[in-house]
Every structure is written in structure tokens, then in C-alpha cells.
């Protein structure tokens, strides 16, 4: 008789997801910004709240045995779960009206706003999708308790989403004729944040020191989490990938653009180098350091690294740009007369 309950529940879940995707498409067609005001919680927080509250409500039911209490608890739980699935469907559809409002606070001219909006929508959605797939993968691999933790796989998914979003060149306008390239010299130091680069280097160096201490027998020794060296190799690899992607973002070619679009392009590159690549790489590096420390027997150090990684994710969630929504939009500025010289 399990299918009698499972089949309607599955259909209801699919219906909630479909409702969320339909609502996202409808809002995009209307270009509406007011329709999102009733979504106080979005994404993972809402799903987590639904799961936690559902668990807290359901557990006492098995003790009380009251039919009224049981009905009330399941009603609240199903409403929370359904609302969470609707929001999940909206996120899966890539609905991000906040990107338009953020672009209005980053630039004053319409062409730059469109360019920044496309970049924000692409990056924020792929980061979210990568993190969501990382959470699902954690649930699938959590059977034996020896695989990577939630933070590692979730941050790895966010990192993969960020990198995939940057594997993209600014598209040239269609049509024939000669094309001009922007030959301006761009250096990595002009786009990076010094503190982030130092922290990435410190994470890589600290992991190497941890490996050396483990090989020398200074640490308490390996645990059921396995040897230390695979984690250290992953940390060094993450830092190397971050450095390589940052270099590619800074040095990739672009056509000759008007002055305002050059400024928007430079701003997008700075955001990509720092918030799009360095920060998720640093969070993943800290999560991997936590696993390496736990494998070496330093559980306290691993706990601190996990807290630092989670705190960094909270501060940089959705590129950390949602705080700009409280600021006033910039006044529109007239577009430049023509493209810049090659």
C-alpha cells in the first residue's frame, strides 16, 4: 500500500515544482519586480526551514497520538514543503529579478546595465545550480559516512558553477565588415583583491604544512576519514585552478567598445575574479582543509575551518551583492557617441 501514499506525494511534488517554474516564466514575461516581494525566504534557507520545522512537528506526533494534532502537524508540514518546492522550481528556472535591480546600482547607462544583468543572471544561477547538485550528491553518498562532507560537495558544486559561467567570451555583434579589438593592457593585479590572494596562498601553504606534519608523525594520526594527502592534493589543485581561471578572465580578448561598456566589462571582470572565482575557491579550500585536519586527527582545527568556510559562504551568497538592493539606483547617463579606438 506504500504506492497509494507515494504516488500522490510524488505528483504533488512535481506539481509544486512545475508551479514554481510557471511562476518564474510568467514573472519574466511581465518584467515584474513586485511579484517577488512576498518571497521573504529564497532557495536553500526556505527548504532547510521546511525540513527542520517538518521534523520538529512530526516527531512529537508519534508520542501524542492525537488525531487533531497529527492532522494539524501534517497540514503545516505539507504547506511548508510545498512552498519550498515552489521556490525550488523558481530557482531551477533561473528566475533572478534581483539581477536587474543590482545592475541598476552598479551602472548608470542602459547598455552597461544589460551587459551586467546578463552576467549576473548567468553566474548566480549556475552557482546556485552547482550548489544544489552538490547537496543532492551529498545525500546520495552519505550512506557509509566516509565520503566528502556536505560543505565540500556543496562548495565544489558552487565552484564548478562559477567556473562554467566564466567559460564564456563576450559575444561579438552579428554582421559582416571589419572588426576591431581592444588592445588595452590588462594586468591581474588590477582586478584581484590582495587579501583574497594572500588567503588562498595561506590555505595552500597550510595544507602542505599539515601534510608534512602528518608524515613526520607530529599529528595524532589518521582516522576513519582516510589519509591526508588526497585532501591536500585537492586543496593545491583548487588554488591552482583559481589562479588559472583568474588569469584567463583578465586576459581574455574583447572587441572595441564604447567607454561605458568598457567600464562595465572591467567591473564584470573584477567581480568574476574576486566574487565569482576567488571567494568560492577559498570556501572550498577551507572545507577541504577541514577534512584534511580531521583525517590527521586535528578535529578542533577541522571544526574551526568548517565554521570559517560556512561563514564565508553566508557572507558571499549570491555573489554577496544582494546588499546593494537597499541602495538607491544610479541615475541614467547618456550613451557614448561611438566605439573606442583599437
Output the average pLDDT for the chain.
Answer: 76
Write down the domain spans for the chain: 7-95, 101-168+189-326
Strand partners, 223: 226
With bands split at pLDDT 50, 70 and 90, how would you rate the model's confidence at 264?
A: confident
Per DSSP, 323 falls in state: G
Label residues 126-157 b or e (16+ Cβ within 10 Å = b).
bbbbbbbbbeebbeeeeeeeeebbbbbbbbbb
Q: What is the mean pLDDT of residues 295-306?
A: 89
With bands split at pLDDT 50, 70 and 90, how would you rate the model's confidence at 286?
A: very high
Give the residue ranges of DSSP H helices in 93-186: 98-106, 110-141, 150-166
Per DSSP, 226 falls in state: B
- pTM confidence score: 0.76
CB-CB neighbours of 79 under 10 Å: 12
Which range among 7-16, 216-225, 257-266 shows the weakest confidence by mean pLDDT? 7-16
Report the range out of 5-14, 77-86, 91-100, 141-150 with the highest average pLDDT: 91-100
- Beta-strand ranges (E) seen in 139-292 are none
Closest CA to 292 of 213, 189, 187, 197: 213
Taking only the tens place, the pLDDT of each residue in 88-145 is: 777 777 777 788 889 888 888 888 888 888 889 889 888 888 888 888 888 777 655 5
Q: What are phi and psi of 330, to 5 degrees?
A: -75, 145
Amino acid at each position: 500500500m506504500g504506492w497509494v501514499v507515494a504516488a500522490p506525494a510524488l505528483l504533488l511534488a512535481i506539481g509544486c515544482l512545475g508551479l514554481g517554474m510557471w511562476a518564474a516564466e510568467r514573472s519574466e514575461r511581465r518584467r515584474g519586480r513586485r511579484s517577488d516581494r512576498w518571497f521573504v525566504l529564497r532557495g536553500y534557507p526556505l527548504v532547510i526551514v521546511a525540513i527542520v520545522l517538518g521534523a520538529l512537528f512530526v516527531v512529537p506526533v508519534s508520542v501524542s497520538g492525537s488525531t487533531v494534532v497529527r492532522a494539524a502537524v501534517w497540514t503545516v508540514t505539507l504547506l511548508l514543503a510545498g512552498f519550498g518546492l515552489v521556490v525550488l522550481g523558481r530557482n531551477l528556472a533561473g528566475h533572478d529579478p534581483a539581477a536587474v535591480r543590482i545592475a541598476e546600482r552598479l551602472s548608470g547607462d542602459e547598455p552597461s546595465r544589460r551587459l551586467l544583468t546578463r552576467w549576473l543572471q548567468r553566474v548566480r544561477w549556475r552557482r546556485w545550480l552547482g550548489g544544489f547538485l552538490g547537496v543532492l550528491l551529498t545525500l546520495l553518498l552519505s550512506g557509509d559516512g566516509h565520503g566528502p562532507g556536505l560543505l565540500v560537495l556543496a562548495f565544489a558544486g558552487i565552484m564548478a558553477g562559477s567556473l562554467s559561467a566564466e567559460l564564456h567570451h563576450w559575444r561579438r555583434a552579428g554582421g559582416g565588415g571589419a572588426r576591431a579589438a581592444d588592445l588595452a593592457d590588462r594586468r591581474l593585479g588590477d582586478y584581484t583583491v590582495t587579501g583574497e590572494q594572500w588567503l588562498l596562498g595561506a590555505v595552500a601553504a597550510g595544507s602542505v604544512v599539515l601534510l608534512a606534519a602528518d608524515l613526520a608523525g607530529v599529528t595524532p594520526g589518521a582516522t576513519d576519514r582516510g589519509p591526508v594527502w588526497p585532501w591536500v592534493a585537492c586543496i593545491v589543485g583548487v588554488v591552482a585552478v583559481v589562479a588559472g581561471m583568474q588569469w584567463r578572465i583578465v586576459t581574455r580578448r574583447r572587441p572595441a567598445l564604447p567607454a561605458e561598456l568598457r567600464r562595465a566589462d572591467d567591473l564584470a571582470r573584477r567581480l568574476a575574479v574576486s566574487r565569482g572565482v576567488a571567494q568560492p575557491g577559498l570556501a572550498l579550500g577551507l572545507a577541504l582543509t577541514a577534512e584534511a585536519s580531521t583525517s590527521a586527527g586535528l578535529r578542533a582545527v577541522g571544526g574551526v575551518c568548517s565554521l570559517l568556510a560556512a561563514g564565508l559562504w553566508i557572507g558571499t551568497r549570491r555573489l554577496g551583492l544582494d546588499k546593494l538592493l537597499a541602495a538607491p539606483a544610479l541615475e541614467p547617463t547618456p550613451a557614448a557617441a561611438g566605439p573606442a579606438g583599437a
